[in-house]
Every structure is written in structure tokens, then in C-alpha cells.
Amino acid sequence: MGRMTALLPRGGGLLLLLFLLRPLPFLLPGSAGLRLLLSDSSPFNCSQLGLKCVVKNSTCMDESWVHSSVLTPSAPSTVDVHLDIFQDKEGKLLPVLQIQWMVATDASIRSFRGVELTVLQVNDNRQICTWFDFQNNLMLQAPPGGGRWNFTFNRFEVQPGQMYHVTVYHLPKLGIQGDHNRKSKEYKVPDCEDKRMRRTTPCVQMGSLWEPSIDGKHLEDGSVLVSFNPGKEPARYQIHVTGFLDKKICMDTTQEVPKVTTLPIASLLKPDKVLPPHSRGVPTWGKPISTTEQLLILRTIHKVCR
């Protein structure tokens, strides 16, 4: 997350650009990346009228890989993958894949014993699976209530901005040469800029709802006072200040702010009280001026630029 602002200080000639960057650790607390949400949330019910079905953990190695069956069902006729938001027991809003597929309307439905769903996270090749274990055989090509046999599953938690490869296998798998009874789909999860993703827990932890209100003030002695509003979640920040003189960059500095958790309540300090003695180009930390503000004082900018 980056935010910027520009200001023209009085006394002329110097333009400052301030960037506020929030470095993102790859895996954030509370965001486990690719994960199957079976045990830590309300049970998923894959049964429907005419079919008793149980969702189980899977090793991604259905036994039909090893013991091939004589008759196997057809591949799904369609597979669709969308974004869904799942609220877990703790009230966290988690981005999940909504996987929907249709069963082919043919007699192979009689040998349809279950489904293996595989999700591969492309960036690190991590793969997890789940298994729909059918407790009875489907005897009708179409469900008693009309329409087509179709299924939906939305318990694979995914990461913002990542690419996934989703495969739906109808079980038992085909053990011989022939038309494989699986269908795959690629899906890229929108990043935290997306309207629906913004309010999910992993995006909020990355600062998607954060209003930093970054500001810079030019002080009498030529230093710059930078203030901003830290996000609600503990995080580290990076501040980048660029000075321009006669349209040329004359000063460029980057400073990392140590992890800010909660700031102590302090009375408003006059900037001159926190100004340390001049020392060329070394940024110094000021003191918090309120519960939501942190001051960074960068000194000797004029000297560097002249």
C-alpha cells in the first residue's frame, strides 16, 4: 500500500513528495494462504435431494488411482470458479473460491461414486484437496426436482491476487487410456483494490481500508516534519521524501518506521521542542503527538539541496 502527497513549502523552490509504503510480509497473521475450511467452521453439507454426501479431507490420492474401476463416470460438463466471501466462526471475512460444476446427463451417472476437488496455488505449487464421498448411487440422470445434477463448494480459502488451478475429478478416476473424467479451470483471485476484496480480513490487515492522511510541514530550520495516521493493525511503514529544486531532484531519502502497535497518549508537542541539533541528512524520530499520529522529522534537507 502506498500513499503520496506533495507540498510546496514557503520560502520557495523546494518541492517535496512524500510516499507512505507499507511493506507486506508474504503471509500475514490470520491469513493462512491456501487452506481448506472444514474443521474450523460450520460443517459443509454436500447432500441434496436424492443424494447423501459427506465432505472429507483428502490426500489428493483417491484410491481409484491405485485400484482402477471397470466403469467410471463422465467428466463434469462445466466447471465455473468465482470469488466468494466466507465468514468463519470468529467473524473473519475470508476470500474463498466458489467452485460450481454440472454433471453430464448420461447413464455413466450410475458409476458416479464421489468427487475429488483439487486446488493448486500456482506461485508455490502448493496443492490441497477435498473429497465428496457419496453414500448412495445416483440412479437418475437428472435430479428428481428437475434441472441438472450440480454441485457447489466454497471452502477453499485463497490469497488476494493469487492464481489458482482448480480441478474437479469425478470418481472413480479413469485408470486406463481414454477420456479423462476431470475438468480444470484457472482462476486469478482479485487483489485488495477490488471492491469485494477490500473488506476481507487479509486485505484489511494489509491496509485496504486505511486512510493514512500523510502530511509534511516545512520547519524554520529547513527540516521537514512528516506525520501520518498508522493503520489499525500493527505494521511497519516506509516513508520516502524527495526534494526538488529548479525541477531537479536534489534530495531523496527513505526511512523505515519500526513496528507501530499502539501509540501512547501524549500531549501535543511543539515541533521546536522535539527538534534535535542539526546533523546532516540523518532522519530522527519525533514523539507521538496523539494516539493516532506519529512524527518523523527529517533534518538538513535545505543544506543537502543548496
Ligand X SMILES: *[C@@H]1O[C@H](CO)[C@@H](O)[C@H](O)[C@H]1NC(C)=O
Residues that bind ligand X (CB under 6 A): 38-39, 45, 47-49, 56-57, 143, 145, 147-148, 150
With cell 473460491, the residue in question is 97
CB nearer to ligand X: pick between 91 and 145:
145
* Cell numbers placing 97: 473460491
In angstroms, the Cα distances linking 236 to 91, 160, 271 are 25, 20, 23
CB nearer to ligand X: pick between 132 and 164:
132
CB nearer to ligand X: pick between 27 and 38:
38
Cα dihedral: 6, 7, 13, 17 (round 10): -30
Question: Cβ-closest residue to ligand X?
Answer: 147
CB nearer to ligand X: pick between 47 and 284:
47
CB count in 10 Å sphere of residue 228: 25
In angstroms, the Cα distances linking 27 to 22, 32, 94, 160, 249 are 14, 7, 14, 11, 36
Distance, CA of 294 to CA of 269 (rounded, Å): 11
Contact at 8 Å (CB) between 266 and 288? yes
Distance, CA of 271 to CA of 24 (rounded, Å): 31
- Provide, for the chain, the percentages of residues in helix, strand and coil under a 3-state DSSP scheme, each rounded to the nearest 5: 10, 40, 50
CB nearer to ligand X: pick between 105 and 229:
105
207 — alpha (psi -120 to 50), left (phi > 0) or beta? left
- Render 123-155 in DSSP notation, one character per residue: TTTEEEEEEEEESS---SSS-TTSS--EEEEEE
CB nearer to ligand X: pick between 105 and 255:
105
Q: How far is the CB of 129 from ligand X (least distance, A)?
A: 11
CB nearer to ligand X: pick between 144 and 258:
144
CB nearer to ligand X: pick between 153 and 237:
153
CB count in 10 Å sphere of residue 183: 18
Phi and psi, residue 177, nearest 5°: -65, 140
